[in-house]
Chains A and B, each alone.
Chain A
């Protein structure tokens, strides 16, 4: 029973994430469980791509079509957005909300630049003869990178929601964990891109 007493949650404050019976924030725990499940999703998509990347039929191969310098710039943009995300969290935790909003907006803009680059890349590939149904390789590639793009887009929506909440004064310093949880999602999306960039793009030379 001593354990039960120790595990009792402290009284709740309005709008603040309280630790649950595990002694940690339930919202943060839920986000980590969600991210663990996302590992399985992207693991399956990356596996599918690796299995089909040589099955190009009459369409272009990865080695012929990938533009590594362009994708490297996209990777730089997404890495930069991870930095601005942690700087946003740091500023809001300190109570510096104007600076926090600036970093949140910068993160969302960098995410939008990444998505713009992906749309440009997809359009270029399509013009060069790589459609979604051209080959098993193209289907696996567009599904994997498209899913990642959808995740980035959802992240931008979350970031803009935080920005609007902060601008309206509804995101207080003691609620900084909300920013941290959105940040976890954003960094995870960046982490998945690190995998995609290395496994899908940089190993395409010999294909």
Chain B
């Protein structure tokens, strides 16, 4: 790793400015609105693929807001983001392996 790259990482680790209290309140209000929309979808009659798709998008935005703003991944060292994304990819992989084990293999009766 070059000196420049290390310096950048150090700067990310300690020299970042956290958002202001007002920014946090704005993010909270956004999370509240998104949650209200999510709950509304439960009571609105819509096709299942559209319901799953819209809930997936809303959930992803909420996760981005919490991880990016409240957990400071937007301004913190990128290595933390990489660890977290690796964990999420691992979790999805676990799900896909389980799904293939219990559903696909059972369906085709290997």
Contact = CB atoms under 8 A, between A and B. Distances in A.
B87 A198 contact: no
Interface string A20-37: 001111001100110111
A72 B35 contact: yes
A25 to B, nearest CB: 7
A65 interface: no
A44 B94 contact: yes
B71 A40 contact: no
A122 interface: no
Which of the four size classes fits the interface of chain B? 35 or more
A161 interface: no
Contacts of B13: 19, 23-25
Given A23-B9, A86-B24, A190 B66 contact: yes
A203 B55 contact: yes
Contacts, number: 148
Interface string B16-48: 001011001100100110010011011000001
Interface stretch (A2-10, A147-155, A166-174): A2-10
A85 B70 CA distance: 9
Interface in A176-206: 180, 183-184, 187-188, 190-191, 194-195, 197-199, 202-203, 205-206
Contacts of B48: 206
Interface in A58-76: 68-69, 72, 75-76
A168 B94 CA distance: 44
A4 to B, nearest CB: 10
Nearest to B98: A47
Q: Is the interface of A mostly helix, strand, loop or mixed?
A: helix
Contacts of B103: 51
B83 A83 contact: no
Nearest to A2: B3
Interface of B: 1-3, 6-7, 9-10, 12-14, 18, 20-21, 24-25, 28, 31-32, 35, 38-39, 41-42, 48, 51-52, 55-56, 58-59, 62-63, 66-67, 70-72, 77, 79-80, 83-84, 86-88, 90-92, 94-95, 98-99, 102-103
